[in-house]
Amino acid sequence: MPRNLLLALLVIGWAGCQTTPTTESSPNAPASLGAGIGQLPLLTSARTRSISAENPTGAVGQGGMAIPQPGETKPAASARAADNLGQGWKVRPFLRVNAGETVTLMDVDGPGTIQHIWMVEGLSRANILRFYWDGESAPSIEVPAPDFFAVGHEMFARVNSQAVVVNPANALNCYWPMPFRRHARITFSNESAKDLELLAFQITYAQAPVPREAGYLHAQWRRAGTAEQNPYVILDGVRGKGRYAGTFLAWTQRSKGWFGEGEIKFFMDGDGRFPTICGTGTEDYFCGSYGFQEPYTTAYAGTTLPANADREPPSYWSLYRWHILDPVSFDRDLKVTIQALGWGTDGKYKLLNDDIASVAYWYQTEPHAPFPALPPLERRGRVK
């Protein structure tokens, strides 16, 4: 081998073995840490605040300031437990929400992003959560509290997912990121005839600028019988640019046999009779196959109640599907439907007379289109 060629190969080989040291000023340093948990070491200008009954405004240095009120006539549960201990000793950990009352859980200026909500409220659809972004008069989120956390039929079931976690006995946790620019307000309404003696909650958010491209989280609850509405409408009337983020269905099966042959369809950006996205079956959409043979709860999809399509009706299904890694993006409009379609003994599909309640989760630009009115309280409870 000629001497000059040998030297050239040695130089090339040596150069290929060298690495460029990463310094604090390197623009590639954050990417090298990865996403998710890899971002935790990055020290930003964000400031963490947390709102609870012990710090209703989340203000700096004002947590746990409540003073015992022994003469209070309608206290929250355990309110008298700290009377002998005094200020600073778990005096006001919970709220009481009387029948017909609405309380404000969060009322803060932005910019910021809600990162986590924990709540314990009794699993009643009489309890309604409403979220208002940037001073809007109509809520962007209006959902019965348990359904917002993927608990259907007012029946507890564990959920172990990336966006929602439900732990025994009824600890509801939400991790959907919720940016707001100017203001965020969250209310909780008790529309039942019975006082709620214990509402426990904590809302943690980051005070930090919101990217210009960020949309606002929206969530909407609907319910209908499929004898009158089939395909069932999960979401309709959305106008604006956005991303569909998730579906929760509380499905009541009224007859024996397999119920999950129906296809989900996404009509977007001017679609007419036929959709752009068409699924292949209910269990397929919820990332299962050949029926829901047993409960499962995963990062992005699950069926959380005991699975048995052949039991005496009614049978209850709580099904969630989060589009975290596969959001459905739209530019102008969106409608989402699912067919209530079963499998007949003759080997053919059959239309079903079932009951479906749903929550649709999506991000979009504001303003949003008006929501349909919530059904009255007597139309929200579990089918029996």
CATH number of the 215-370 domain = 2.60.120.1390
In the chain, CATH 2.60.120.1390 covers: 44-214, 215-370
Dihedral pair phi/psi, residue 222, rounded to 5°? -135, 165
pLDDT digits (tens, 9 = 90+) for 245-304: 999 999 999 999 999 999 999 999 999 999 999 999 999 999 999 999 999 999 999 999
pLDDT digits (tens, 9 = 90+) for 100-132: 999 999 999 999 999 999 999 999 999 999 999
Confidence (pLDDT) at 311: 81
Secondary structure of 62-123 as H, E, C letters: CCCCCCCCCCCCCCCCCHHHHCCCCCCCCCCCCEEECCCCEEEEEEEECCEEEEEEEEECCC
Instruction: Work out the pLDDT band at 31, boundaries 50, 70, 90.
Output: low
pLDDT digits (tens, 9 = 90+) for 363-382: 999 999 999 999 999 999 99
Instruction: State mean pLDDT over 196-204.
Output: 97
Domain 44-214 in this protein, CATH class: mainly beta
Confidence (pLDDT) at 154: 97
Dihedral pair phi/psi, residue 11, rounded to 5°? -65, -45
Confidence (pLDDT) at 243: 98
Instruction: Work out the pLDDT band at 15, boundaries 50, 70, 90.
Output: very low
C-alpha span between 218 and 366 (Å, rounded): 10
Structure token digits, residue 47: 């400031």
C-alpha span between 315 and 60 (Å, rounded): 49
pLDDT digits (tens, 9 = 90+) for 149-181: 999 999 999 999 999 999 999 999 999 999 999
C-alpha span between 268 and 312 (Å, rounded): 39
Confidence (pLDDT) at 209: 96
Instruction: State mean pLDDT over 57-71.
Output: 93
Instruction: Work out the pLDDT band at 33, boundaries 50, 70, 90.
Output: confident
* Mean pLDDT, all residues of the chain: 91
Instruction: Work out the pLDDT band at 21, boundaries 50, 70, 90.
Output: very low
Q: Closest Cα to residue 215, out of 191, 233, 240?
A: 240
Does a cis peptide bond (omega within 30 degrees of 0) precede residue 314? yes
Instruction: State mean pLDDT over 335-363.
Output: 97
C-alpha span between 197 and 23 (Å, rounded): 55
Residue 34 has pLDDT above 90, yes or no: no
Confidence (pLDDT) at 275: 98
The number of CA neighbours under 13 Å toward the Cβ of 47 is: 7
More confident residue, 23 or 145: 145
Residue 139 has pLDDT above 50, yes or no: yes
Confidence (pLDDT) at 99: 97
C-alpha span between 219 and 221 (Å, rounded): 7
Instruction: Work out the pLDDT band at 3, boundaries 50, 70, 90.
Output: very low
Q: What is the pTM of this model?
A: 0.90
59 contacts: CB under 8 Å, gap ≥ 6: none
